[in-house]
A = this chain, B = another copy of it.
Amino acid sequence: MAQKPLPDQPVVETIPVAVPRAADKIRRTARELFYAAGIRAVGVDEIVTKAGVTKPSLYRAFPSKDELAAAYLRDYDAEFWQRFEARLDTAGRDNPRAGLMDFLHNLGSRAGAPHYRGCGLSNTAVEYPDDSHPARKVSEHHKQKLRLRLAELAADMGADDPKLLGDSLMLLIEGAFVTGQLFHAGGGPARALAEAAERLIDSHLKG
């Protein structure tokens, strides 16, 4: 449109901006709502309304609410690893302890934020005890990967029992996830996360 604008009219360039598709809007809105309120607490009507789309659009892009929840967690999982590995990279691959501690310091402070809601993947496992649920499957797979990664890092640090240190660190991390949303005043037990991790790591490097 407006191939030859009249002299006294402003020239309007047609810049092609990527307009978000309905499926993307749904994905993003579901992500926010599911994380903040929990999956069971959010209905599909609320999602499509807040996303500015309609229900058929949701069911054209996702076969069911359960699968939408699984997709939300797959996004969550991807973002988690992106941030996690980024911190390890910043500290340098030759210094896994510093990278992990960077992550833990960050987590410890985030967990004290006013409306912190912990880990969306852990929360989903609490909401859906049944292993057959597609969303829970994503959660379990993620946690198994996290467990292995922590043991790997423990080994890289030179721990005498890497699996034991990795599991110990995982307990601290998951504990920070949960207590973070229980003590939202900022001064919850999660403030002890980094210090406790340091002590545990120390105790495994002394041997």
Contact of A179 among B36, B164, B170, B203 (CB under 8 A): B170
Indicate whether A77 reaches chain B with its CB closer than 8 angstroms.
Answer: no
Supposing A126-B126, A143-B183, A182-B143 touch, asked if A172 and B175 sit within 8 A by C-beta, the answer is yes
What 1/0 flags go to A27-64 for Cβ under 8 Å of B? 00000000011101100000000000000000000000
**Helix, strand, loop or mixed for chain A's interface?**
helix
The oligomer's copy count stands at: 2
Beta-carbon nearest neighbor of A192 in chain B: B167
Q: How far is the CB of A109 from chain B (nearest CB, A)?
A: 15
Max count, chain B CB within 10 A of own CB: residue among A129, A183, A189, A204: A189
Chain B residues with CB under 8 A of A166 = 189
